[in-house]
């Protein structure tokens, strides 16, 4: 158990959700970081970049990620049973140099519907002092919910994350970031480690004091409906209502709605973004629904997002509008509609179940995604609808189904056989997602043990690694024995080098 004093506060949690990162500092002595830097330099000089093997090559890194400040932050955003992912990498910025381009990480070349909800996070660790001159990693605050670079460029710029040795930056997996220019003749190391959530939140896992969304840092004002939904999800109440804006009189409410409609139709992007948000908080009418439906096709991603979450805040009257948009001619509008349906809740489930049988590949795939976001609230019928997609001809649909089946913990009897089948899929990504989804089910995945043992020989390293995690979490004597047999053959000696072979 982590000491509660290391958990995040409401203000820190709010900042993480809206800005997508927090700068932290370990309590380890400086000598530990100096040793890690020296050891890393030796490994790079003799062997090159060890990639995923950076942890066994520099085992002192485990002290960093066991630091209670970092464990408390990860527990706050990913829950107490989060795990370290098997992918990790040491990024090198040798000076002088121009740094790298702004990007957001993929899933090792794979494509997936990215979650606004915090299921994946990264830690960026500096073993040396990292002033701006040495080329720290820079992040774009608030960019983690945007697919396109053009969406955040008018709103924010790259912020160098500086700090002394031992500084660690906790970031949302989808944040846009880059290596800043290194103006010195020194080498800057940054260790990137990934962590994932293994269960859906049922209660706050940080030092939560406020049930209401604590607005106030500025960034949260851009997407109030979305941030409120995310706050509620982290608190274990994913489908709680978004409080409507309080107006003193009916006349004032009508005037505010009229002004918002006018801005949504003819304002600049900032006005349209604010108007969409306001309409989700001010009540419902046919005119509001029609305007928000059109805003799902807005050229600005920020407006589309706010329209989607505004429709989710409105509730049942918006279900058909969002569902209709899942195969819109404007492809980005489909994703926004999927986010809206995922935030809307169980009232959208019957329509999503029907969409799983639709002729449209986009409808089936995004319906699977949204049903998975129901989590423990999904019905047996909803789980069966997603499980029925295991033989869908479209990989897009099958991988969304695999992802979704990992977030439905209450329907294991229907889910585990489907995931077992997907573990033998032709697509490496589908197998990758299925193995990780089985790990999330823990002991309930026991019937998949034989398939997971077979997956230990998969050509894809992450299918293997996810199967290892699943067998570990199943924990039966059969699973444990198979796991030890595999690890005994594949174990690697971190102190063996070409100079000392035995």
- Report the alpha-carbon angle 264-269-275, nearest 5: 35
User: In this structure, are residues 171 and 139 in contact, taking their beta carbons and an 8 Å threshold?
Assistant: yes
**Has residue 429 been placed in a domain?**
yes
pLDDT tens digits, one per residue of 313-324: 999 999 999 999
Q: What is the 3-state secondary structure (H, E, C) of 448-461?
A: HHHHHHHHCCCCCH
Residues 96 and 183 placed together within one structural domain of the fold = yes
pLDDT tens digits, one per residue of 329-358: 999 999 999 999 999 999 999 999 999 999
pLDDT the model gives residue 362: 97
| Domains contained in the chain, number | 3
Taking each continuous run of H as one helix and of E as one strand, the counts in the chain are 22, 8
Which one of 307, 323, 344 terminates a domain? 344
Residues 467 and 379 placed together within one structural domain of the fold = yes
Q: Which of 256, 249, 32 is nearest to 126 (CA)?
A: 32
- Supply the range of the domain harboring residue 289: 241-344
pTM of the shown model: 0.94
**Has residue 233 been placed in a domain?**
no
Residues 45 and 172 placed together within one structural domain of the fold = yes
H or E, element range at 273? helix 269-281
**Has residue 369 been placed in a domain?**
yes
- As to burial, measured by CB atoms within 10 angstroms (0-12 exposed, 13-18 middle, 19+ buried), residue 133 is middle
E-strand spans in 95-166?
120-125, 137-139, 159-160
**Has residue 473 been placed in a domain?**
yes
Residues 9 and 153 placed together within one structural domain of the fold = yes
Residues 73 and 27 placed together within one structural domain of the fold = yes
Q: Which of 272, 196, 277 is nearest to 229 (CA)?
A: 277
Alpha-carbon distance 147 to 302, whole Å?
10
In whole angstroms, how large is the CA radius of gyration of the chain?
23
Residues 6+ apart with CB under 8 A from 1: 80
Instruction: Please report, for the domain that includes residue 153, its CATH number.
Output: 2.60.120.620
Predicted confidence pLDDT, tens digits, the chain (502 residues): 899 999 999 999 999 999 999 999 999 999 999 999 999 999 999 999 999 999 999 999 999 999 999 999 999 999 999 999 999 999 999 999 999 999 999 876 677 899 899 999 999 999 999 999 999 999 999 999 999 999 999 989 999 999 999 999 999 999 999 999 999 999 999 999 999 999 999 999 999 999 999 887 777 789 999 999 999 999 999 998 887 644 344 555 688 889 999 999 998 999 999 999 999 887 789 999 999 999 999 999 999 999 999 999 999 999 999 999 999 999 999 999 999 999 999 999 999 999 999 999 999 999 999 999 999 999 999 999 999 999 999 999 999 999 999 999 888 889 999 999 999 999 999 999 999 999 999 999 999 999 999 999 999 999 999 999 999 999 999 999 999 999 888 877 777 777 777 7
**Has residue 234 been placed in a domain?**
no
Distance set, CA 378 to CA 328, 349, 365 (Å): 26, 8, 17
Task: Extract the tokens encoding 191.
Answer: 């260790």
Distance set, CA 204 to CA 9, 321, 439 (Å): 11, 32, 23
Alpha-carbon distance 95 to 111, whole Å?
33
Residues 6+ apart with CB under 8 A from 42: none
Residues 340 and 384 placed together within one structural domain of the fold = no
Q: Which of 282, 339, 285, 330 is nearest to 309 (CA)?
A: 339
Instruction: Please report, for the domain that includes residue 458, its CATH number.
Output: 1.25.10.10
Which one of 344, 377, 395 terminates a domain? 344
pLDDT the model gives residue 106: 83
């Amino acid at each position: 158990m982590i000491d509660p004093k290391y958990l995040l506060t409401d203000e820190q949690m709010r900042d993480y959700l809206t800005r997508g990162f927090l700068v932290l500092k370990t309590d380890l002595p400086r000598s530990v970081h100096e040793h890690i830097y020296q050891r890393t330099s030796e490994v790079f000089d003799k062997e090159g970049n060890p990639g995923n093997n950076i942890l066994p090559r520099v085992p002192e890194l485990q002290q960093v990620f066991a630091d209670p400040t970092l464990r408390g932050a990860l527990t706050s955003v990913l829950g107490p049973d989060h795990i370290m992912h098997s992918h990790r990498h040491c990024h090198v910025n040798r000076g002088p140099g121009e740094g790298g381009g702004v990007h957001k990480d993929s899933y090792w070349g794979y494509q997936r519907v990215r979650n606004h909800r915090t299921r994946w996070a990264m830690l960026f660790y500096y073993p040396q002092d990292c002033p701006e001159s040495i080329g720290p990693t820079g992040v774009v605050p608030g960019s983690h919910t945007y697919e396109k670079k053009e969406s955040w460029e008018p709103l924010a710029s790259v912020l160098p994350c500086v700090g002394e040795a031992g500084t660690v930056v906790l970031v949302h997996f989808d944040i846009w970031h880059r290596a800043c220019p290194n103006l010195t003749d020194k080498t800057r190391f940054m260790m990137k480690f990934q962590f994932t959530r293994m269960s859906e939140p049922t209660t706050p896992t940080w030092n939560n004091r406020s049930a209401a969304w604590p607005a106030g840092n500025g960034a949260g004002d851009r997407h109030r409906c979305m941030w409120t939904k995310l706050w509620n999800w982290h608190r274990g109440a994913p489908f709680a209502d978004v409080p409507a804006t309080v107006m003193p009189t009916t006349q004032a409410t009508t005037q505010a709605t009229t002004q918002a409609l006018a801005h949504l139709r003819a304002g600049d992007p900032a006005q349209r973004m604010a108007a969409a948000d306001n309409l989700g908080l001010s009540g419902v009418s046919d005119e509001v629904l029609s305007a928000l439906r059109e805003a799902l096709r807005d050229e600005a991603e920020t407006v589309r997002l706010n329209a989607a979450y505004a429709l989710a805040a409105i509730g049942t009257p918006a279900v058909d509008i969002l569902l209709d948009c899942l195969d819109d001619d404007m492809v980005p509008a489909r994703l926004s509609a999927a986010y809206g349906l995922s935030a809307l809740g169980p009232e959208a489930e019957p329509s999503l179940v029907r969409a799983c049988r639709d002729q449209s590949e986009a409808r089936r795939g995004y319906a699977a995604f949204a049903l998975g976001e129901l989590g423990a609230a999904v019905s047996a019928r909803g789980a069966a609808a997603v499980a029925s997609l295991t033989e869908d001809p479209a990989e897009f649909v099958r991988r969304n189904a695999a992802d979704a089946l990992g977030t439905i913990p209450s329907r294991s009897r229907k889910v585990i056989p489907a995931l077992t089948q997907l573990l033998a899929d032709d697509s490496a990504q589908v197998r990758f997602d299925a193995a990780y989804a089985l790990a999330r089910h823990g002991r309930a995945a026991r019937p998949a043990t034989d398939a997971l043992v077979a997956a230990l020989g998969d050509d894809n390293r992450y299918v293997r690694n996810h199967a290892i995690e699943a067998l570990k979490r199943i924990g039966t004597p059969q699973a444990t024995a198979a796991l030890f047999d595999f690890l005994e053959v594949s174990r690697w000696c971190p102190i063996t080098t070409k100079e000392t072979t035995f």
